[in-house]
Amino acid sequence: MDDDLNCREAVRLMSVALERILTEAETSLLQRHLSDCLDCRNFEVQVKFIHRAASRFRSGE
């Protein structure tokens, strides 16, 4: 299968994942990309961090 994600598509899927559960096919495509791509792994950590920062911001601590 020649349907590997590029970074732009991987980032889109990561954003989608925050709104709904990914399909199995989407999940495996994303995992495959992440295992090969340090940039997107860094990005993934950052988006999760931003999510936690936003909740902290809410409580003001």
- Which residues lie near another protein (CB under 8 A)? 6-9, 11-12, 15-16, 19, 38-40, 42-43, 45-47, 49-61
* 7 binds Zn ion, rule: CB under 5 A: yes
Q: Return the residues of window 21-40 that contact Zn ion according to CB under 5 A.
A: 37, 39-40
Q: Give, as one character, the DSSP assignment of residue 18.
A: T
Helix (H) or strand (E) holding 48: helix 38-59
In angstroms, give the least distance from the CB of 57 to another protein. 6
Calpha distance 43→14 (Å, rounded):
9
* 16 binds Zn ion, rule: CB under 5 A: no
Are 11 and 44 a contacting pair, CB within 8 Å? no
